[in-house]
Amino acid sequence: MLASLICFGSKQVDSYGKNTYELLGVSLTMREVSERHYRMSFRRAEIDEYYKSQWINYGGSIKTAIDSQDEFDVNQKDVTLNALAASINGRKGNRKVTLAFYKPTKGTIVHMSVPSLLNCFILPRYSGECCYLDILFIWRSNECVLGLPLSLESSIRWIDEIFLPELRTKTSLKVLLGNYTYYGVNMHCYDNVIMDQLIGNIIESAD
């Protein structure tokens, strides 16, 4: 796993009145995810609940965005699957395959309502009779200690459990999950006693 902190920002008070440390960005890459065990034991129950409520259950914010239809009554996930399958069956690259989780409306612009997850880019890569999908998720905002484990595993899990099985029904090559990159913009960490102790425990456990 490769990780980098783009830049530390300053200590600020957010719109909810909470003290935070703002970070410009965080980038984290997991190599060849299909060959690794990506499930976390840390906060297992919370991760499962977040995944089901936001990614799987109808009414969840990310589930709603994934299944949304545009003004032409087109489901973006179906379009993405078909375009990607055509590229894979032809053993071609495709830089255009992306899922968008934000469709601006007058209301969202007026109220600056932007979801935490913005985009997912999918790039096919070939080796022998296998196609590896390199994935990039771009997040607008996340709590970098408490929130990241939930969104990190859940996004990989959705690709692995929901997206890939549907794609495999449309392709002749064996399709596997390749490199996964999590890019968070405008990340933050809460500044309080509980967070300080939690971070301290993580650092001590790492030693």
Q: Per-residue pLDDT for 10 more than 80?
A: no
Q: Quote the pTM value.
A: 0.82
Confidence of residue 40 (pLDDT cuts 50, 70, 90): confident
The pairs formed by 87-94 with CB atoms below 8 angstroms and a separation of 24 or more are 87/124, 88/124, 88/131, 88/167, 88/171, 88/172, 88/173, 88/175, 89/170, 89/171, 89/172, 89/173, 91/126, 91/131, 91/173, 92/124, 93/123, 93/124, 94/123, 94/124
pLDDT tens digits, one per residue of 56-94:
998 888 888 887 766 666 788 888 999 999 999 999 999
Q: What is the mean pLDDT of the chain?
A: 84
Range of the structural domain that residue 110 is part of: 2-206
What is d(CA 136, CA 155) in angstroms, rounded to the nearest whole number? 10
pLDDT, residue 207, reads 44
pLDDT, residue 160, reads 95
pLDDT tens digits, one per residue of 108-166:
777 666 778 889 999 999 999 999 999 999 998 877 777 888 999 999 999 999 999 99
pLDDT tens digits, one per residue of 42-57:
789 999 999 999 999 9
Confidence of residue 180 (pLDDT cuts 50, 70, 90): very high
73 CB-near residues (< 8 Å, 6+ apart): none
Number of domains the chain is built from = 1
Residue 192 belongs to domain with CATH number: 3.30.572.10
